[in-house]
A and B are shown apart, each in its own frame.
Chain A
Amino acid sequence: MQDISYNKRFEYNWDVPFKVTLGESYFRFLDGLKNKKILGNICPKCNGLHVPARPFCDKCLVEITKWYETSGIVTIESFSVTYVKFLGLPDPPHITGIVRAENAVTSFLHQIGGIPYDEPKELDEKTKIGMKLKPVWAEKRIGDIQDILYFTPVDA
């Protein structure tokens, strides 16, 4: 077989513009962030609190219409400390958390920050499941999930 290794030359990127309208429930949740509010909604059938607010309940498959304003305090349910640089992600070390608002039946992802350390490796131990966190808000808020810069320990 002839050597075709020279042929590994086709390099390209996808850079495709998209636009979408998220609908009322997601919009209201994201719009609440502008006013430093973390809103949820409650399923009429199972009473499950959904944060972020959702148009429907997965388990009951019914529409959710009842709104609820949370305190903004969340609990760490799980987290991952990342030690290498990934394209499109923050510089390491960074902590991606799964956090839950009050007694919600859903959780959501966000960055955890403001935990002091000397060596990055300390973050594994200093970040704890069950830790209470509060949002750190962006100065300029536009109604998206990054209006919260990150969540930080309540007692920080």
Chain B
Amino acid sequence: MKNKVAIVSCGIIKYEGQNELGMWNDEATFKVSKMALDNVGAEKDDLDFVVISTMDGLDGITISNGLLAPAAGAYNKSSVRIETTGVHCIFSAVADILSGNSNLVMVASSDTLEMDFGYVTNFNQDVYFRGPVGFNASQSYGMLAMDYLKKHNIDEKDYARIANKNYLAGAVNPYAHINKKYSTEEIMASPYVNWPLRSLEIGKISNGAVACLIASEEKAKELTDNPVWISGIGLTSSQYLGSWKELSDMKAIKKACKKASDMAGIKDLKKEIDLMEITAPFAPFELIAMESLGFCEEGKAVDMLNNGDTSIGGTLPVNLSGGGLCTNAPNSGGLFRVVQAVKQLNNELDGVNTENMEKALVHDSDMFIGAVGGVSHGVLMLEKGE
């Protein structure tokens, strides 16, 4: 990128189960936004722009921005609400900074409501073609998991191993919702929800809140000695009623990643990226995403998993946060992963050494509300350094 933009501060509270936070969206948003400001000694008046990530169906109100924007410091300032994920919000923040309009932008998101996610994601479908015929997010996960299993002749136990790897990471992440080290055997013993996916291979809905401050180069240097630079960002949409080939081949991730890599000047992803956070609301999507992003050939991500490359201490740790199985927050999950990657680059994890890690990739997507058709993917490249 020609001009530099950085993430200069984060605010986050520990994620819990549905309706377990003990506060409403606005209060949770306020807490993390204030934390992000306080961490770098900034004030509400320093903010130029506020971006909120929410979805009405996931908030239980249709004017959630009206409630949440002031909680993130937007009173009397410009603000937008984006109904897709954290990387999409950061895209908007970066655009406003690069236009010269803003120097400091707050991006915030929260989940505090208990709802029936299966029902909401059925209701999210159109009511003419997809909704009435027995479809919600869970079936879409099952389709992709089945497709990948059949195409690559891998074992159902590999899916349990991915889940186990994520649970081990989540257990040492103080912000993750699930901190239980489920073994591969326990995961294999959990019941099928959508074959071949078992209940412990699908993320349970999490509640929590997260915020980060995005700044121009000048503002970043004024506020912190510890900026994490946004070196590239790309977004791509897929087709809603496309063929299965179109829906399953993840062209949108590939394109988003290409855009972000080109912008960041990354030539060889596998050599240059040190760690990744991937939106994977069901275990095997981690493999599908790694291949689509270009970290290995099709069908080979499972080897990286089984070699331990993607585990804590591996050559390319994936989802050190515990991923979507440990923290699956529909509104704020994307921003949660961004903040986790920032903390990893800053070597702030207890008991996990990420000292020499300098470049991170964050994949984000609204696929958790339905992974086949009408999906938007985002890829964000983050970098430590001057």
Contacts of A83 in B (CB 8 A): 191-195
Contact indicator B128/A22 (Cβ below 8 Å): yes
Is B77 an interface residue, CB under 8 A from the partner? no
> B residues touching A (Cβ–Cβ < 8 Å)?
19, 22, 60, 116, 118-119, 122-123, 128-130, 132-136, 138-143, 146-147, 150, 191-196, 199, 239-248, 372
B277 CB to closest chain A CB (Å) equals 26
Name the 8 nearest CB pairs between A and B, nearest first. Answer: A80-B142, A77-B244, A86-B118, A87-B119, A80-B139, A96-B139, A78-B143, A83-B192
Interface string of A45-81 (1 = CB under 8 A from B): 0000010101000100000000000000000011111
Is A111 an interface residue, CB under 8 A from the partner? yes
Contacts of A80 in B (CB 8 A): 138-143, 146, 194-195
B57 CB to closest chain A CB (Å) equals 8
Is A35 an interface residue, CB under 8 A from the partner? no
A145–B196 Cα distance when bound, in Å, is 28
Nearest residue (CB) in B for A82 is B194
Partner pick for B243 among A7, A22, A106, A145, CB 8 A cutoff:
A106
Apart from A12-B60, A14-B60, A88-B123, 16 more pairs, CB < 8 Å: A58-B242, A80-B143, A80-B146, A82-B194, A83-B192, A86-B138, A89-B134, A94-B134, A96-B133, A96-B139, A96-B143, A109-B135, A124-B195, A145-B129, A145-B132, A146-B133
B310 CB to closest chain A CB (Å) equals 26
A21 CB to closest chain B CB (Å) equals 11
Contact indicator A109/B133 (Cβ below 8 Å): yes
Is A156 an interface residue, CB under 8 A from the partner? no
B156 CB to closest chain A CB (Å) equals 10
Is A100 an interface residue, CB under 8 A from the partner? yes
Decide if the interface of chain A is mainly helix, strand, loop or mixed. Answer: mixed
A23 CB to closest chain B CB (Å) equals 11
Known: A8-B19, A83-B191, A109-B130. A129 touches B150 (CB 8 A): yes
A109–B138 Cα distance when bound, in Å, is 14
Chain A interface category by residue count? 35 or more
The 10 listed contacts between A and B (C-beta, < 8 Å) are: A8-B19, A26-B128, A52-B129, A52-B241, A77-B245, A79-B146, A82-B138, A98-B247, A106-B241, A145-B129
B185 CB to closest chain A CB (Å) equals 19
Partner pick for B118 among A87, A129, A145, CB 8 A cutoff:
A87
Contacts of B196 in A (CB 8 A): 124
Interface string of A119-146 (1 = CB under 8 A from B): 0010110000100000000000000111
Nearest residue (CB) in A for B125 is A109
A11–B104 Cα distance when bound, in Å, is 38
Contact indicator A88/B122 (Cβ below 8 Å): yes
Partner pick for A54 among B19, B194, B241, B247, CB 8 A cutoff:
B241
Contact indicator B134/A96 (Cβ below 8 Å): yes
